[in-house]
Structures are given as C-alpha cells and as structure tokens.
C-alpha cells in the first residue's frame, strides 16, 4: 500500500517556496495516495517560539493546507503534538541513530550558527523526530522541497538500520518526491539564498497571505540583471535571480522553463515582471481569500485537527505497538 506523509512547521507565514516546492504537489498527489499531512508544531519548538503565536500559526497553516486544496474529508490533517506516538518513536529511533549521521546534517549547522554549544538538543535531534513522523505511519512516499532531501536520506538510513538490527523489513524505505519546476525557490533579493520564513527582509519572499499590491511591489523590487530574457535555459545558469523568476513563472503557469523563455525571450525583465505579477495574483489571491474565510471560524479548524488526530492516532498507535513487540518493550 502507498501512503504519503508530509508536514510543515507552524513558524511564521507560509510563502511561495512552501507552496510551489511542497503544498501544491500534495494537492495533486492526494488523488493517488492515502495522504497524511501534519502541522509539525513539535519541530517548531527547536527554535524559541511565543506560545500565542505558535498556536495561531498552527491554525493558520491548517487553513493554508485546506485553502490550497487539501481535502480534509479525504486526507488526514492534524498537528504533531496531538499524537504522542511521534515523540515516543523519536526516542526509540534516537537510540538506533549514530551521532555521526546527525553530525553531517547541513541544516543543523546553518540553524545553529556560530554558537553551536547554545543550540538546543532538539535542534540537533530534529531529523530523528522527522524520521519518526514518517515511519510511525510506515509512509512510503514523502513529498517535500529540495532542502529536505538530506533529512529524508537520513530517515531511510534509520529505517534500514532498524530493519537490519531486528532482522526484518518492518519499515518501508520512504521515497522522497521532489517534484515540479520549483523544488528550490530562491529569495527575491538574493538568488543565492533560498526563499525562507526566517529571512529578515519580507521583500525576500511572497507570503501566501500577501495582497495583490504587496505581491506587485515585491515582484517589482525583485533583484534582476540588466540583460533581457534569453532564448535557452542554459543561458540562465549564471543568472540566478533571472533563473528564479523564470522558474517561479513556469511553476505557477504549469509550463516548463523552456516554454516560458519561448514566450518571453528578448523582452526586458520590467515587462516580464508585469506578467509574473498578474499570474501570481491570479493563483494566490483565491488561496488567501479562502484562508481568511477559514480563519474566521477557528472552532471549525480545531474540529478538523481533532478529527485528523483521532484518525492519525489509530494508525500510529497500532504501528507503535508492533514496534514495541519487535524491540521487546512490555506494553499493557
């Protein structure tokens, strides 16, 4: 059986990178797979959070999933903290994960920065919790953006190590699904940096909740170079900002970068940006309108999350019981 698991952290607002790199693909995949989509609030705790903001972001990310097209009647949508099995399995897996594997994780190095001694243990162990999220459902496929590739390889390694240690093939090795034209959307201010919630400049990203004027302003201010759009994709290689805008346009339009160049080659970026604004507003405005509508009824969001948590718990507890039996942990 094929089952998808994926998640996003409820830290700040979701942006175009989250949408094009992940969320949009989830919407397309929910027809083919049994799908479980999580709001990973425990992962958010790896960096300091304000309690009220965390709570409100958890509901807002839920609203974003649904507004983007995830169907809560067909998919399981829930927040990680509501299903205790994630944390329990994370502990078990952490005892099967060599520290050397975690020492290789580039995201820890980036997020911990210069003062690694002060970073929380949870930030270091973050990829083990992520592996537990996936493996507690025995998920087979994990749709994510490019930046999660290394974490997914670790999840596969942990699953393999567990299976080998106990001489079985209990965990399927989860397949990453890194799909579409925009697997790594870059900052609008710097084509060498990924578009990120944590960038201090809001002009670096387009948020799913930005209104039409804000989108227009951010696209107009986006960094480019003075050359017109080229004819061939290869010519974008040394032009990261130009490449990024062409990639974003193509992903939103559902075409290839080459087709986009076929349409706009020879034009100046000022003209191309006008088309990009129209397209981005057309695609994102319905999502933000629907998000606002959903956020006006928090009770309904909480009900969806509770219902999702019940369904997720049923699957996760059954698998956790099997895992405890395999390991030799006595359970009631």
Active site residues: 111, 194, 197
Minimal distance in Å, beta carbon 8 to ligand AMP? Answer: 4
Residue that is written with structure tokens 């191309």 in the block: 272
Minimal distance in Å, beta carbon 108 to ligand TRP? Answer: 11
Return the one option of ligand AMP, ligand TRP, none that residue 142 interacts with (CB less than 5 to 8 A, by type): ligand TRP
Nearer to ligand TRP (CB atom), residue 43 or residue 194: 43
- How many Cβ atoms are within 10 Å of 106's Cβ, its own excluded? 10
Return the one option of ligand AMP, ligand TRP, none that residue 185 interacts with (CB less than 5 to 8 A, by type): ligand AMP
Strand order in the sheet with 3-8: 76-79, 34-39, 3-8, 141-143, 175-177
Q: Would you count residue 195 as binding ligand AMP (CB under 6 A)? A: yes
Return the one option of ligand AMP, ligand TRP, none that residue 57 interacts with (CB less than 5 to 8 A, by type): none
176, 142 contact by CB (below 8 A): yes
Q: Would you count residue 13 as binding ligand AMP (CB under 6 A)? A: no
224, 271 contact by CB (below 8 A): no
Nearer to ligand AMP (CB atom), residue 18 or residue 224: 18
At residue 34's C-alpha, the angle toward residues 29 and 39, to 5°, is: 80
Nearer to ligand AMP (CB atom), residue 82 or residue 185: 185
Nearest to 43 by CA among 100, 109, 128: 128
135, 171 contact by CB (below 8 A): yes
- Maximum CA pair distance of the chain? 70
The contact mask relative to ligand AMP for 129-158 (x = CB under 6 A, - = no) is ---------------xx-xx----------
Q: Contact positions toward ligand TRP, by CB under 6 A?
A: 5-9, 40, 43, 130, 133-134, 142, 144, 148, 151
């Amino acid at each position: 059986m094929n089952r998808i698991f994926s998640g996003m952290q409820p830290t700040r607002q979701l942006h175009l990178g989250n949408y094009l790199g992940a969320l949009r693909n989830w919407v397309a995949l929910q027809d083919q797979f049994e799908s479980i989509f999580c709001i990973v609030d425990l992962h958010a705790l790896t960096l300091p959070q304000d309690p009220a903001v965390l709570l409100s972001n958890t509901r807002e990310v839920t609203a974003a999933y649904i507004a983007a097209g995830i169907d809560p009647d067909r998919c399981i949508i829930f927040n990680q903290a509501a299903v205790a099995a994630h944390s329990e399995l994370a502990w078990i897996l952490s005892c099967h994960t060599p520290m050397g594997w975690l020492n290789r994780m580039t995201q820890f190095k980036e997020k911990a920065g210069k003062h690694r001694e002060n970073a929380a243990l949870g930030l270091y162990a973050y990829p083990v919790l992520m592996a537990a999220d996936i493996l507690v459902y025995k998920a087979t496929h994990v749709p994510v953006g490019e930046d999660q590739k290394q974490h997914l390889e670790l999840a596969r390694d942990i699953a393999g190590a567990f299976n080998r240690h106990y001489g079985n093939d209990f965990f399927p090795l989860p397949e990453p699904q890194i799909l579409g034209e925009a697997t790594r959307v870059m900052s609008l201010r710097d084509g060498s940096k990924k578009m990120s919630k944590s960038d201090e400049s809001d002009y670096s990203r387009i948020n799913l909740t930005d209104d039409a004027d804000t989108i227009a302003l951010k696209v107009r201010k986006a960094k480019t170079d003075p050359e017109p759009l080229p004819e061939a994709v290869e010519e974008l290689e040394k032009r990261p900002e130009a490449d990024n805008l062409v990639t974003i346009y193509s992903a939103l339009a559902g075409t290839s970068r080459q087709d986009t160049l076929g349409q706009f080659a020879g034009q100046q970026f000022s003209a191309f940006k006008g088309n990009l604004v129209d397209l981005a507003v057309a695609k994102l405005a319905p999502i933000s309108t629907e998000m606002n509508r959903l956020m006006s009824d928090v009770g309904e969001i909480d009900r969806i999350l509770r219902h999702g948590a019940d369904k997720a718990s049923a699957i996760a507890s059954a698998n956790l019981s099997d895992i405890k039996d395999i390991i030799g942990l006595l359970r009631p």
